[in-house]
Amino acid sequence: MQLKISNVGKIENATIDVNGITVIAGENNAGKSTIGKTMFAIFNSMNNMDEKIAQERKNRIRNIINGLLKGKIMQNIGTISDRRRRINIISTKLLDAIMEYLDSEEVDTLEAYLRKQISETTIFDNHEDEEEFVTECAAKVEALLAISDKRVMTEVVTRWFGRVFEGQISPLWEEEIESEIEIVIKDKKILYHFKENTCISLETEVNILHQAFYIDNPFIVDEMSSYIIGSDNIMKNYLLNSLQTVSEDIYENIFDAVAAKEKLAEINEISTEVIDGDIEKNQDGEYCFKSNNYAEPLNVVNMSTGMKSFALIKRLLESGNLKEKDVIILDEPEIHLHPEWQLLYAKMIVLLQKHFDLSMIITTHSPYFLDAIDVFSAKYNIADRTKYYLAENTGNTSVLQDVTNNIDAIYKKLSDPMQMLENLRYNG
């Protein structure tokens, strides 16, 4: 797949190929994280969009019914709880009836259909309340249905991008300039246009079926025992929810289960060098790290930072939330890792891509980590699926250059500060 970005944040123009492992290195504040955030927002906003829209319409219709029923329904029913139960029962029946109507080739108007459904049971105290409900409900539902799917999609996209970018999608140098984002997947594209941080148009030729995970801090493991997800950071919340839950369809059948275990075996060998154990929930509902090396389970808070980095990936895999062909974005994963563990982590990433066909975007400042990705990609025969980009500042904007055939450009950028120190050491 290919991602094209124009006038987003600090990036004026960028074309990025993401068909395996994509490594982005370079200066701070040069737009590296923008690429990962964009991919996260695209995949998770557009993931099963048709289903999301259908479910949102259904939820809204239920709200319409409930709102109109309150104050009209059976005032003589005893307690408030009794009335609420009655309303829920009736609203569910009416909702089901409306959804059946929408899926049918019913010739009657929605108003006539609703009137027929209501006449078959005693709901209202008087005929006036019944007629008022039918008229208002039919009008509100029809108005809702008149809103096109495309309008709903643009609003969904605006909200997702707005939360991911904290409302700052537009170019930093001039907010009134239009932003454009295009992603091409198997020759089919999705094209977005933003202006003043709002999605103003959207063209899509593909239904995205996979999700993206954004990982920038292993300390999120410390929050797994939280019962309420309270952060405003949508990327953090998405990841935390995935860490806390086990996918219901973790393996669709026994053959998938066997295949997955075989793929995980090689990866587990690597992670066992760092974490010989698993994160599990105890009787108190808190997450602990259980290992034969410890006399008792270890509170996840007390795990070393490096261990958390490996445990996080392992948890996503074994819970069934990280699946084949998903997208994973790793923002400077080497920060909390000793150089030796950087090599192990890089090896694990390469094997993850190879076995699960993940699309991976990695930002890094570490020559150790960069070199390890390069070496292991060659060793495990995925070098042709590994791309390298150098991000550099050019005044108020930044550019990303494809340096796959000249990785030395990245090494030079990363080594320049060390050379400066050496010059100071010997030249004063």
Domain at 250, CATH number: 3.40.50
Give ∠ CA 158-164-165 in degrees, rounded to 5.
85
In a domain, 30, yes or no: yes
Residue where one domain finishes, among candidates 117, 145, 173: 145
Is residue 255 scored above 70 in pLDDT? no
In a domain, 203, yes or no: no
Residue where one domain finishes, among candidates 145, 166, 191: 145
CA separation for the pair 97, 61 (Å, rounded):
11
Give percent of the chain above pLDDT 90: 37
Q: Are residues 256 and 399 in the same domain?
A: yes
In a domain, 95, yes or no: yes
DSSP state of 73: B
Rg (CA), the chain: 27
Q: Are residues 32 and 63 in the same domain?
A: no
Q: Are residues 329 and 387 in the same domain?
A: yes
Q: What is the pLDDT of residues 168-203, one digit of tens each?
A: 888 877 778 899 999 999 899 999 999 989 999 999
Give ∠ CA 265-299-225 in degrees, rounded to 5.
90
Residue 393's domain spans which residues? 2-45+208-274+304-427
In a domain, 357, yes or no: yes
Q: Are residues 129 and 267 in the same domain?
A: no
Least confident of 203-212, 344-353, 395-404, 417-426: 417-426
Is residue 333 scored above 80 in pLDDT? yes
Residue where one domain finishes, among candidates 145, 173, 194: 145
CA separation for the pair 397, 11 (Å, rounded):
6
CA separation for the pair 35, 5 (Å, rounded):
8
Question: Rounded mean pLDDT of 255-273?
Answer: 70
Pairing relation of β-strands 397-402 and 386-394?
antiparallel
In a domain, 168, yes or no: no
Please report the DSSP string for 77-139 in residue order.
Answer: SSSHHHHHHHHHHHHHHHHHHHHHHHHS---S-HHHHHHHHHHTS--BSSHHHHHHHHHHHHH
Q: Are residues 71 and 36 in the same domain?
A: no
Q: Are residues 23 and 62 in the same domain?
A: no
Stated length of the chain: 428
CA-CA-CA-CA dihedral for 413, 414, 416, 422, to nearest 10: -170
Give me the number of domains the chain comprises.
2
pTM of the model: 0.82
Q: Are residues 23 and 89 in the same domain?
A: no
Question: Strand ranges (DSSP E) for 265-385?
Answer: 278-281, 287-290, 298-299, 327-331, 359-364
Q: Are residues 422 and 361 in the same domain?
A: yes
Q: Are residues 263 and 328 in the same domain?
A: yes
What are the tokens at 107?
Answer: 């010739």
How many Å from the N-terminal Cα to the C-terminal Cα in the chain? 49
Q: Are residues 388 and 354 in the same domain?
A: yes
Average pLDDT, the chain: 85
Q: Are residues 398 and 345 in the same domain?
A: yes
